Structure 1
Amino acid sequence: MTLAELIAQARTALDTAINARQQEQDALMALRSDENLTEEQARAQIERRDTADAEVTRRQEALAGLEAEQAREEELTQLQARTVPAATRAPAYDRVHRVGDEERTYRPDQDRRGAQFQQDVAAAFLGDYEARDRLARHMQEERTERGDQLQRAVGTGAFAGLVVPQYLTDMYAPLARTNRPFADACRRHTLPRTGMTVEISRVTTASSVDNQSAENAAVAEQDMDDTALSVPVRTAAGQQTASRQSIERGAGVEDVILDDLFRAYGSRLDTTMLNAATVGLSNVATAVAYTDATPTTAELYPKVIEGLAGVEGALLDQASGDNLAVMHSRRWYWMQNAMGTSYPLITQPGVVAQTLGANHAEAYGRGVRGILPNGTPVIVDNNIAVNLGAGTNEDEIFLVDRQECHLWEDPDAPMYIRAEQPKAANLGVLLVVYGYYAFTFQRQPHARKIGGTGLITPTFTGV
């Protein structure tokens, strides 16, 4: 099989891999719009998408290797045509090196300023093989006549205009963002197409049932009543104006800008859900105080159980059991640093009795990071404030029922606008990212938060 046939085969394989990857991505987007989506389903689909993505990269590298090999073969073929003399022809007189009375390649009496030498240097750099031959003969002549003076060397600094820096644009370092770990763990709903509020009916006066006092006596009756819960639809948006030169003459500038805007959108949505005044999780959760001047993980854990008991006590028969503990990464690592000999007396599924939970070793923002001793999954989110309390150095741990953490989003959010006309007079391109969303934790008020001096900046002492 020829190289051309191999390249055609590799291109077909790459196209197939790209189509397969797109199908997995489309399946992931469709899955995310399902309100009954589970963490396991999402993780499995993401793994399938990433596997397809890796296959695209492998096929792309294989094609690039074959194309590079073909280019090299063509280059060698052209070089051979230039350098191989006819079999019966004797070498030309000026192609044979002689020592003695033979004229030098570059003679000062004929070219006092060295213009021919400079022209050959430039021509050799551009690929002129005859110029390269003359320069090679000149160097051989120099070695023969002045070999003892040719031991000096120069570095790349002597050729500032020829040693060109290479910019690895595919390895640019994006700004690190907190992104949206908690938002991705919440119960997802599709945002209605119209309206700027989401209205939910909450029963606030319930029916009454009691034992009948006597036969034919009136049975208990209580008129039901509800109260509307109004959830505002919020708009998160950001923009960046880029010069047309940067987009048209740069390498991947627009993609870099959009990637940063998309991740900034996720960070803003998540931090609003956690910290917004009045309706954010930190402001609606019932406090569980942990006050301790010398906090330890062993002392904190009972507070976690107290908070979870409060969650179930508030929800009663509406509790799904799908609980979450949400904490800052500094708190999760502090809990992992603890060493001790005591362990829970009641074992839990999936947790070794002698340990204080289990770490799943997932990367930040990739879902559940681990489980606590009672089996509660942990979400690590660095949008949690760490400047709380009198000393402005405390954080909080949230305990919630995932099914009562509601987030409405458009399946296609965030949206992207690329506008050229508004900035046309300045040769600018306006890039805007925006999205609508709504959230609430008050459909069934239940959330708990652990806070206090026991959650100051942690020290990693093994306790």
Structure 2
Amino acid sequence: MSTDTRLSRLQERLRTAQIQRGIIADKGDENGGLTEAEFRQWEQYGRDIADLDDRIAELVSVGQRSEPTGGAAAVRRATSGLSVNEPRTYGKHGRSSYFQDLARVRLGQDDDGSAMQRLQRHATDVATGQEYRDLNRTDGNGGYAVPPAWLMGEFVELARAGRAYANVVNGQPMPGGTDSINIPKVATGSATAIQTADNGAVQETDITDTFINAPVRTIAGQQDVAIQLLDQSPVSFDQVIFRDLTADFATKLDLQVISGSGSSGQVTGVRGTSGITTIAYTSGSPTVAGVYSKIADAVQRVHTTRFMPPTVIVMHPRRWAWFLAAADSAGRPLVVPQAGNPQNAVATLGAVAAEQVVGQMHGLPVVTDPSMPTTLGTGTNEDVIHVLRASDLLLYESGIRSRVMPEVGSGTLTVRLQIYGYLAFTAARYPASVVEIGGSALAAPSF
């Protein structure tokens, strides 16, 4: 076997030993230390590296003596690319400490002289300018031996708003076999009057009627997926897609209930319903007390025109946070937890929750919904507050249906995952059941 071949094999073994020793050391760094077995293995690799260094040096020396013309030059060329010929005295993963050895020498505690020898060897290394290249976890420099850990069980789904407003209204199952729901309604009622005298005429007024139309609309979504993704993914990727589609379905349905336009396949939402009551609060310096009084006005208007009490207040989370941040002149909060038995509070905090009942105001539960609009007004990004008798609003829903259709993209091994569902909604039975508070005073709050 030629000298060059033997040298090349020794160099390859040296590199392998250095890589394995570095992997063990990195593992110790990650786990806070090495086990006894790992430490013994780490030491053995160190001894192997030292032995290989000696054998390489000896082979280089032999090559220099036996091939004075071209052989020595060839051996030097073969060894010139070797990054590490000898372990560093104070390496990244070494057992020796430069500062500990320095302290031992200065304090006269270097009884066997080993600390001084290491310091001298280190000084020689620095003086000769020998290049060292430690392995680390950078890709291409040892990093490929430490692969990333993909926590597929912790798959992060997209955060989406729910359907808080839709959940408080009167939900009904969708009737089958129709594309439109008509609800009869009394337009003008009968009447009574005082009888002017015995045997006098009795008041007679004929009832007139009309109807409310709630067309059935469709919400749908789909995703085309390569069949290889479904087959080869370690997670059930079809479930990931269906969960995301279903979550967005809930968001879109909630938006329809609040702000549906009534055109282009949309239902007529609460805000688009003719006849709901609106209250404007305009102020350059809005206060909690000012909004509180407007909500009181909204409550009495439902009582006055619907002749029944409202049941819930719905607002955007930022508006509720504005109430929570408010304080009186002494710095005391105006909205405090119910458990504190508050006195003279404008509202009480029931729970730190999302898209559900978070507290009470005017004796009514307060529900927060991030789908309430926040871009109203002219450049002021106003939001609105709704006070309503929720049972008067009707939402008809079918179940959400899912389909898997491999035929659509069979020519390209593509599968279509699809969901759809039907809804019909109306707030027109009793428009007076809804009062919307808006205006410039409800511009984007600052905290």
Question: TM-score range, shorter-chain basis?
Answer: 0.5 to 0.7
Any idea what SS the aligned residue of 2:171 has?
A: strand
Please name the residue that 1:244 is paired with: 227
Please name the residue that 1:453 is paired with: 440
Q: 1:325 aligns with which of 290, 308, 313?
A: 313
Structure 2: which amino acid aligns with 1:179?
Answer: G
Structure 2: which amino acid aligns with 1:369?
Answer: V
Please name the residue that 1:340 is paired with: 328
1:21-49 CA-to-partner distances (Å, cap 9, x unmatched) read xxxxxxxxxxxxxxxxxxxxxxxxxxxxx
CA distance in 2 between counterparts of 1:175 and 1:389 reads: 30
Quote the offset at 1:266 in angstroms: 0.7
2:408–2:416 CA contact under 8 A, matched in 1: yes
Please name the residue that 1:60 is paired with: none
User: 1:160 and 2:143 equivalent?
Assistant: yes
Q: 1:389 aligns with which of 377, 399, 405?
A: 377
Q: Which of 1 and 2 has greater Rg?
A: 2
Please name the residue that 1:299 is paired with: 290
Quote the offset at 1:363 in angstroms: 2.5
Mapping of residues 247-266 of structure 1, within 5 Å: 247-250=230-233, 251-266=235-250
1:114-149 CA-to-partner distances (Å, cap 9, x unmatched) read 29949998xx99xxxxxxx99986753444686993
Please name the residue that 1:356 is paired with: 346
Structure 2: which amino acid aligns with 1:326?
Answer: V
Structure 2: which amino acid aligns with 1:225?
Answer: T
Mapping of residues 192-231 of structure 1, within 5 Å: 192-231=175-214
Please name the residue that 2:47 is paired with: 140
Mapping of residues 397-436 of structure 1, within 5 Å: 397-410=385-398, 413-436=399-422
Please name the residue that 1:171 is paired with: 154
Please name the residue that 2:256 is paired with: 272
1:322–1:403 CA contact under 8 A, matched in 2: no
Structure 2: which amino acid aligns with 1:423?
Answer: G
Quote the offset at 1:178 in angstroms: 2.1
Quote the offset at 1:236 in angstroms: 0.6
2:303–2:310 CA contact under 8 A, matched in 1: no
Structure 2: which amino acid aligns with 1:272?
Answer: Q
Q: 2:302 aligns with which of 300, 307, 311?
A: 311
2:306–2:430 CA contact under 8 A, matched in 1: yes
Q: How many residues align?
A: 333
List gaps (5 residues or longer) in structure 1. Answer: 1-106, 126-132, 344-348
Any idea what SS the aligned residue of 1:223 has?
A: coil
Report percent identity of matched pairs: 28
CA distance in 1 between counterparts of 2:298 and 2:161 reads: 26
CA distance in 2 between counterparts of 1:354 and 1:216 reads: 58
> TM-score when scaled to structure 2?
0.68
Please name the residue that 1:287 is paired with: 278
How big is the alpha-carbon RMSD for the aligned residues of Structure 1 and Structure 2? 3.1
| Change in CA separation of 1:112 and 1:327 when aligned onto 2, cut-off 3 Å | same
